[in-house]
């Protein structure tokens, strides 16, 4: 079969991996590189990811791909902190939680018990799809913890919508991933080497990877991409980008998936002479920026310590700002909490469609995986799983196998 894949991110690469042994595969990628959000840029001869990435010990699909490409990973238990009101609180163990005076003593106890429940008995799949995160969290943690911690942490920082509109089920899946306490890994030879070996493995199987190839028109009825005909087409690009180029797609489906909204992400990657703290991951509350990730804790292979300071919810207002304006604005928060930081360089990266907004109606509006001979893969069809590299790979493989099955 002749199959086209829209998007050279991890979902697209994984779909091509499944299908390329028996089919004629073409990947269309609008950028000059593959990897999507997992791509890298070059700084002083070294490759640095555009956005923060890590591997969890339970990311089995990612680990299998790394092994198949002859790559290994470093692993470490990394600390997390909460930055709020110019104070920084360690946030990865019960003893540290006792000192988190942003919450009352009762609030800290309730949060601690909730964390114990999440890591032991909670089953995210039993949470109803229609239940909103605010109702669920208030019942589980109380009003104080919900409004002082989870509203700024997830509603404001992540999606910039009320907590009452966010899916409790998807949020529970994120909590169950143990981001705060799990082992963090990173490829020893860098994420860019993982992407390079993935790309090269596909090229050896004659997969055509067309870079710098934005699509003008996808005719879903006739299965053509800018006039080129295919038997099957797999869409891994963000839903809004698909809607801009499609024609002759099912009108009811267009109406439904048009309800899906995305949040953007703006990141400042910067280098410092020393580590800012002994934490890998710092969540920032009630500031313009939302997260600070000290990448060099996982991969200390650069002349300086590499970090990201980034903004999700509300970052769409920064998309049109200049690099200097964003750098000044974001690094001001770094200096607020780390006044002695010695910042040596900075780069800015913007993603308009960084993540679907998983609201409580997302399960009703997300694309169907199969729409005739048009298939969808990627994080837009992976609800309620956490949005990360492993999920993208799982989705790509799942859709690839579905195309194979449908062709028998």
Task: Tell me the helices (H) and strands (E) count for the chain, helix number first.
Answer: 13, 22
Please give the average per-residue pLDDT across 60-71, as a whole number. 98
Nearest 5°: the CA angle 104, 106, 108 is 70
Rounded CA-CA distance 61/330 in Å is: 34
Tokens, residue 13? 């690469």
Q: Judge residue 67's burial from the number of C-beta atoms within 10 Å of its C-beta, 0-12 exposed, 13-18 middle, 19 or more buried.
A: exposed
Domain with CATH 3.90.660.20 in the chain: 51-91+182-187+262-356
Share of the chain above pLDDT 70, in %: 99
Distance CA 385, CA 17 (A): 22
Interatomic CA distance for residues 313 and 59, integer angstroms? 26
pLDDT band at residue 91 using 50, 70 and 90 as cut-offs: confident
- Tell which phi-psi region holds residue 99, choosing left (phi > 0), alpha (psi between -120 and 50) or beta: alpha
Instruction: Decide: 115 and 106 in contact? Cβ < 8 Å.
Output: no
Q: Which residue has the higher pLDDT, 284 or 181?
A: 284
Cα distances from 233 to residues 15, 222, 253, 300, in angstroms, run 11, 11, 16, 40
Closest residue by Cα to residue 175 from 187, 164, 166:
166
Q: How confident is the model at residue 180 (pLDDT cuts 50, 70, 90)?
A: low
State the residue for tokens 């091509």. 16
Q: Which residues of 298-322 are buried (b: 16+ CB within 10 A; e: fewer)?
A: bbeebebbbbbbbbbbbbbebeebe
Q: Are 216 and 245 in contact (CB under 8 A)?
A: yes
* Residue 120, both tokens: 């032991």
199 class by beta-carbon count within 10 Å (0-12 exposed, 13-18 middle, 19+ buried): buried
Share of the chain above pLDDT 90, in %: 92
**pLDDT over threshold 70, residue 254:** yes
Angstrom distance (rounded) from CA 380 to CA 356: 6
Span 217-224, average pLDDT:
98
The class level of CATH for 2-30+213-260+358-406 reads alpha beta
Q: For position 176, what pLDDT does the model report?
A: 86
Q: Provide the token pair at 63.
A: 């680990």
Q: Which CATH class is domain 93-176?
A: mainly alpha
**Whose CA is closest to 34, among 270, 224, 194, 233?**
194
Q: How far apart are CA 319 and CA 337, in angstroms?
A: 25
* Mean pLDDT taken over the chain: 95
Domain with CATH 1.10.405 in the chain: 93-176
CB burial of residue 144 (10 Å; 0-12, 13-18, 19+): middle
State the pTM of this model. 0.96
Stretch(es) of the chain classified as CATH 3.50.50.60: 2-30+213-260+358-406
pLDDT higher than threshold 80 for residue 286: yes
Rounded to whole angstroms, the Cα distance separating 316 from 398 reads 32
Q: So what's the pLDDT on residue 342? A: 94
Give the integer Cα–Cα distance in Å for 104 and 100. Answer: 8
Q: How many beta carbons lie within 10 A of that of residue 352, not counting itself?
A: 15
Per-residue pLDDT at 281 exceeds 80:
yes
Domain 51-91+182-187+262-356 fold is Polyamine Oxidase; Chain A, domain 2 (3.90.660)
| pLDDT at residue 396 tops 80 | yes
Query: What's residue 181's pLDDT?
Result: 66
pLDDT digit string, tens, across residues 126-177: 999 999 999 999 999 999 999 999 999 999 999 999 999 999 999 999 998 8
């Amino acid at each position: 079969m002749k199959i086209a894949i829209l998007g050279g991110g991890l979902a697209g690469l994984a779909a091509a991996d499944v299908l390329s042994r028996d089919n004629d595969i073409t990947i269309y990628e609008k950028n000059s590189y593959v990897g999507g959000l997992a791509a890298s840029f070059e700084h002083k001869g070294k490759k640095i990811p555009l956005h923060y990435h890590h591997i969890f010990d339970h990311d089995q699909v990612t680990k299998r791909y790394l092994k198949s490409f002859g790559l290994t990973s470093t692993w470490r238990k990394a600390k997390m902190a909460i930055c709020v009101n110019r104070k920084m609180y360690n946030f990865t163990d019960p003893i540290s939680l006792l000192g988190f005076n942003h919450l009352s003593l009762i609030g800290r106890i309730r949060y601690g018990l909730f964390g114990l429940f999440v890591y032991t008995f909670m089953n995210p799949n039993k949470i109803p799809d229609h239940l909103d995160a605010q109702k669920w969290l208030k019942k589980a943690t109380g009003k104080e913890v919900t409004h002082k911690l989870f509203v700024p942490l997830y509603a404001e920082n992540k999606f910039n919508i009320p907590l009452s509109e966010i899916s409790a089920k998807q949020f529970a899946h994120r909590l169950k991933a143990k981001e705060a306490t799990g082992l963090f890994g990173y490829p020893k030879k860098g994420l860019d080497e993982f992407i390079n070996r993935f790309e090269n493995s596909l090229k050896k199987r004659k997969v055509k990877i067309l870079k710098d190839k934005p699509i003008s028109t996808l005719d879903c009825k006739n299965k053509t991409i800018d006039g080129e005909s295919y038997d099957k087409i797999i869409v891994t690009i963000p839903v809004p980008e698909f809607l801009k180029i499609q024609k002759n797609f099912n009108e009811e489906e267009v109406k439904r998936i048009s309800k899906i909204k995305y949040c953007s992400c703006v990141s400042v990657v910067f280098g410092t002479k020393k580590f800012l703290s002994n934490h890998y991951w710092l969540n920032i509350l009630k500031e313009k920026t939302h997260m600070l990730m000290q990448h060099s804790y996982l991969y200390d292979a650069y002349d300086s310590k590499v970090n990201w300071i980034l903004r999700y919810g509300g970052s769409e207002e920064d998309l049109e700002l200049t690099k200097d304006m964003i750098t000044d604005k974001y690094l001001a928060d770094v200096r607020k909490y780390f006044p002695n930081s010695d910042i040596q360089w900075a780069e800015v990266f913007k993603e308009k469609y960084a993540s679907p907004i998983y609201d409580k109606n997302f399960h009703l509006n997300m694309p169907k995986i199969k729409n005739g001979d048009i298939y969808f893969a990627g994080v837009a069809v992976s609800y309620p799983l956490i949005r990360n590299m492993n999920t993208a790979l799982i989705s790509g493989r799942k859709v690839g196998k579905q195309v194979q099955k449908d062709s028998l």
